[in-house]
Amino acid sequence: MSKKYFGTDGIRGRVGEAPITAEFMLRLGWAAGRVFAKKGYSHILIGKDTRISGYMFESALEAGIISAGVNISMLGPMPTPAIAYLTRTFHAQAGIVISASHNPYYDNGIKFFSGEGKKLPDEIEFAIEAELENSLYTVESHALGKATRIPDAAGRYIEFCKSTAPAGIELNGLKLAVDCAHGATYHIAPSVFKELGATVRTMGVNPDGLNINENCGSTKPELLRQMVLEQGCDLGIAFDGDGDRVMMVDHKGETLDGDELIYIIADQRHRENRLRGGVVGTLMSNLGMELALKAMGIPFERAQVGDRYVLEQLVKQDWQLGGESSGHIICLDKVTTGDGIVAALQVLGAMSRSGKSLHALKQGMKKMPQTMVNVRLAQRGDPTQDPVVQKAVTHTEQKLGDQGRVLLRLSGTEPLVRVMVEGEDEALVCQLANDLAGSVQKAMS
């Protein structure tokens, strides 16, 4: 049975368009409150990123949850992984994040964490959707929930992040450029790295509600690359709007994606006999990472795209490290979800303990040329099931032979079809990806 509202990463869309409206958020807060109240839950945390609509949706959710008889604590602007962590440490039964992650300011969304700091089970999401069909009512006044604020949330999370740094990490003398995407890490990440001894140059730390992810952050690292080169930094670190993704730039201005960062963390842990089991990637993970890991004898498994599926596979395998090429990296021995700051500290730890630069550490992995083309959907439907598109996929696979991969998938967060082609010949890969994207576009016209 499919869900009406919840996607792979919560509920997301354009502000003002259903379901991302104040009215819906009021009902969602009430429905979630009702479901949680029936399970005996009495305390929920709410945090948000820095986009302007967060104020509106925070108030709407607050009113809905309180009217259902459940207490809430407000965290204000905080990274998504911080909300997962604080939900656990405050022994709350659930956490709610108001964020659209790497999307522009005019989008927003809602995702939930369980009391263990993990994504909600499907059965609870189904229960919330079922409750949304019922008429909203308010509990008796004596049973209303109460709202409080947690003023020291940022300080608590900064200390937690520092505690996850590998033993013996030495950042003194290291010059970092840090891009917070005008998002939820703006008041967290610079302090973490400074307090561990690094010299920090910042950008993207002046959110105004409208500039989140605007020409900055992990999806647009060009300005960070310029800062690294112009200011002679040892490396740059870029987060997305809600802080669950990270990309890096080495001292030569070359960008490292999530696959390369996962490889570096896995390599260092393997050398120190600290890597339990193997690594989980996704269908989008670069073939070069898989080959590099297997050359070291490290098992590798692919999950569906989405951090919740990476986490499920990690738990199933009893492994600790996994993630996505987008920079969503899970270090399960440290955190319960993707955490950009914690992942960055693991990479910095590998640099510190090995004595090598970021550029040197990535040399053991040779990325296969990979081209991704996003085709925007103008209407509902799944063009990946179109016979003409499937024939084009078969043709592309035949062109690549055994030296490449093809993947078409619907985005779980945006109205897009992602067309990915990977192989040894970069020019051929680019041509085939664009041809295949054209077939998808034609199927929708």
Asked if 388 contacts 439 with a C-beta cutoff of 8 angstroms, the reply is yes
Nearest residue to 174 via CA among 315, 295, 355, 300:
355
Is the confidence at residue 444, as pLDDT, over 90?
A: no
- What pLDDT, on the 0 to 100 scale, is given for residue 401? 84
Look up residue 272 and give its two tokens. 């120190």
pLDDT at 234: 98
Amino acid at 137: Y
* 409 pLDDT tier (thresholds 50, 70, 90): confident
CA atoms within 13 A on the CB side of 137: 5
- Contact (CB, 8 A) for 246 and 224: no
Task: Tell me the C-alpha distance between 105 and 214, whole Å.
Answer: 8
DSSP 47: E
pLDDT at residue 412 is higher than 80: no
Domain residue extents for the chain? 11-151, 173-256, 258-340+348-367, 370-444
pLDDT of the residue at 1: 67
Q: How far are the Cα atoms of 23, 64, 65, 132, 142 from residue 136, in angstroms, in the given order? A: 11, 9, 11, 8, 18
Q: Which CATH number fits domain 11-151: 3.40.50.300, 1.10.1040.10, 3.40.120.10, 3.40.190.10?
A: 3.40.120.10
DSSP 108: E
The pLDDT of residue 407 is above 70: yes
Check whether 381 has a pLDDT greater than 80: no
Q: Which residue has the tokens 């807060």?
A: 29
pLDDT of residue 133: 96
Pairing of strands 199-203, 175-179: parallel
Read off the pLDDT of residues 108-126 as tens digits, 9 standing for 90 and up.
Answer: 999 999 999 988 888 999 9
Angstrom distance (rounded) from CA 317 to CA 312:
9
CATH, range 370-444: 3.30.310.50
Q: How many alpha carbons lie under 13 Å from residue 146 in its C-beta half-sphere? A: 3
pLDDT score of 54 more than 90? yes
The CATH code that applies to domain 173-256 is 3.40.120.10
Helix (H, G, I), strand (E, B) or coil at 177: strand
State the pLDDT at residue 414: 76
pTM of the model: 0.91
Q: Which residues pair with 372 in a beta bridge?
A: 420
pLDDT of residue 279: 98
| Tokens linked to 231 | 């200011």
Q: 320-352: per-residue pLDDT in tens?
A: 999 999 999 999 999 999 999 999 999 999 999
Asked whether 301 and 289 are in contact (CB, 8 A), the reply is no
Q: What is the structure's pLDDT at 231?
A: 97
The question of whether 101 is a catalytic residue gets the answer yes
Residue recorded with tokens 């952050």: 217
What topology is assigned to 258-340+348-367 in CATH?
Alpha-D-Glucose-1,6-Bisphosphate; Chain A, domain 3 (3.40.120)
Q: Which of 184-188, 308-312, 366-370 has the highest mean pLDDT?
A: 184-188
Band (pLDDT 50/70/90 cuts) for residue 358 is very high
Identify the pLDDT of residue 179.
Answer: 98
Report the share of the chain in percent with pLDDT over 70. 99
For the chain, the average pLDDT equals: 95
> Which of 5, 13, 16 is CA-nearest to residue 128?
5
CA atoms within 13 A on the CB side of 114: 13
Indicate whether 445 pLDDT > 80: no
Active-site residue identified among 53, 73, 99, 101? 101
Strand arrangement of the beta sheet that strand 370-376 belongs to: 370-376, 416-423, 404-410
Indicate the SS3 state at residue 367.
coil
Instruction: Note whether 258-340+348-367 and 370-444 share their fold.
Output: no
Q: What is the pLDDT of residue 313?
A: 97
